[in-house]
Copies of this chain bind each other. A is one copy, B any other.
Amino acid sequence: MTYDKTLFNESTVNVLVSRLASTRAERESLYKHFHQHPELSMQEVETSARIAAELDARQIPYSRVGKTGIVAVIQNGIGPVVALRGDIDALPMKETSGKDYASQATQLDEATGAEVPTAHACGHDFHTVCLLGALDAFHTQRDQWSGTLVGVFQPGEETASGAKDMVAHDIASAMPVPDVYLGQHVLGTLPGGAVGTRVGPVLSSAFSVKVGLTGKGSHGSMPELGVDPVVVAASIIVRLQTIVAREVAASETAVVTVGAIHAGTKSNIIPDSAELLINTRAYSSATSSHLKEAIERIVRAECVAARCPVEPTFTYYDEYPLTNNDAQATERVRGAFDSYFGDASMDLAPVPASEDFSIIPDALGAPYSYWGVGGFANPETAPGNHNPAFAPDLQPTLDRGSEALIVAACAWLSSGEGAE
């Protein structure tokens, strides 16, 4: 595969990127603000307000989509429509990064009613500020390009709920259908400052399922009077291992993890029920569907084997689609990255994580591409995403994220396409 490295007007890109120098101090300050004011998924009220204020200050038009989503649209003549997406939510964790701007925040979790520590342990604050930086550059340099740039500030990525929510609140009426939908994530696995692209499956599909098992309680000394749900649960867990080991081709990527099991309170009482929390990963829809079918099949059969008096229940949640980068769009991004970043543009291995990124472009009928940005000088020692110590190097990460958005968008917006 070869990439055409002359997809954009080099001087345009240089002008747009040069804008970043003049906004650097402001962007770093804004980043630290967001980092210190992290908000839980679908509760990003202050974050959303601050984004709106930043857009207002620059006179960039936007509309709200749902409670905390924002869609900014810069119409700038004839040409392609490019959407850039940044997610904005944080996690319920206590930050342990040791940064002087580390989060001390807490927030009332509306789901549980508990006040919990919060932290941007997945780097969405970077995504937000990088997107604001790119919008600012395109908006201030409108004479350099032609077309429409859309900025999608998406809430609730961590709970797989934000993209769905924006679709439900009719994001389609808030923006034109884009020619391409672009997004990025700061990662510890790429060299610091590098950008990594990949055609095809780049993030796995995932779903979680809570399995409720009902046996029949009894005194621990009289198992024959009950149906032991602990043994049923254990048999299921053991049997689930055969899905990946026997039912999925070795060349396919699939994971079935039982992350939690809870049953019983006392050693000498056989409980009535048991609960499993299962998570899966797959890099194809067919495999994901197979995992779902196989889990239900095995759970049901083990309940029959044990003569459980009640059918097991399956409650699905955290369902993430496959992030399957469009080949043409991604090659176009890669060509631009190769041209601009040189050796810092590299291949991205499939990331064993999941995103709701693709839900909006799929709803809009747009091709998409999603890339990674290296956030740590030393990948060997970088904490993983969601680790409480996760806090990328401030720079060059903050600049690089905006640059990547500008360069990629220019592969359409300064390519001359539609601009004649």
Contacts and interface: CB of A to CB of B under 8 A. Distances in A.
B384 A219 contact: yes
A58 interface: no
Contacts of A352: 219, 221-222, 249-251
Copies in the complex: 4
A224 interface: yes
A352 B239 CA distance: 25
A257 B261 contact: no
B221 A231 contact: no
The interface residues of chain A, by DSSP majority, are classed as mixed
A268 B230 contact: no
A105 to B, nearest CB: 21
A248 interface: yes
Interface string A386-405: 10000000000000000000
A265 interface: yes
Nearest to A282: B250
A249 B226 CA distance: 11
Interface of A: 1-2, 204, 206, 208-210, 219-224, 228, 230-231, 233-271, 274, 277-279, 281, 297-298, 300-302, 304-307, 318, 349-350, 352-354, 384, 386
A123 to B, nearest CB: 15
Given A233-B234, A258-B231, A221 B268 contact: no
Contacts of A228: 242, 246, 257-258
Contact of A263 (B260, B267, B268, B270): B260
Contacts of A279: 220-221, 266-268
Residue among A209, A249, A274 having the largest count of chain B Cβ atoms under 10 Å: A249
Contacts of A222: 249, 255, 352
Contacts of A353: 219, 221
A208 B245 contact: no
Contacts of A300: 304
A219 to B, nearest CB: 7
Contacts of A252: 224
A315 to B, nearest CB: 11
A274 B237 CA distance: 14
A277 B47 CA distance: 46
Given A249-B224, A297-B307, A268 B262 contact: no
Contact of A246 (B221, B231, B264, B266): B231
Nearest to A278: B267
Contacts of A247: 223-224
Given A2-B2, A235-B239, A255 B305 contact: no
B257 A267 contact: yes
Q: Which 9 interchain pairs have the tightest Cβ spacing?
A: A260-B264, A301-B305, A234-B237, A267-B279, A267-B277, A220-B257, A208-B267, A234-B234, A268-B279
10 contacts: A210-B267, A220-B281, A221-B257, A228-B258, A234-B234, A244-B244, A262-B263, A267-B318, A300-B304, A301-B304
B261 A233 contact: yes
Nearest to A226: B246
A352 B268 CA distance: 12
Contacts of A241: 231, 238, 241-242, 245-246
Contacts of A204: 221
A245 B237 contact: no
Given A220-B279, A237-B230, A305-B298, A271 B259 contact: yes
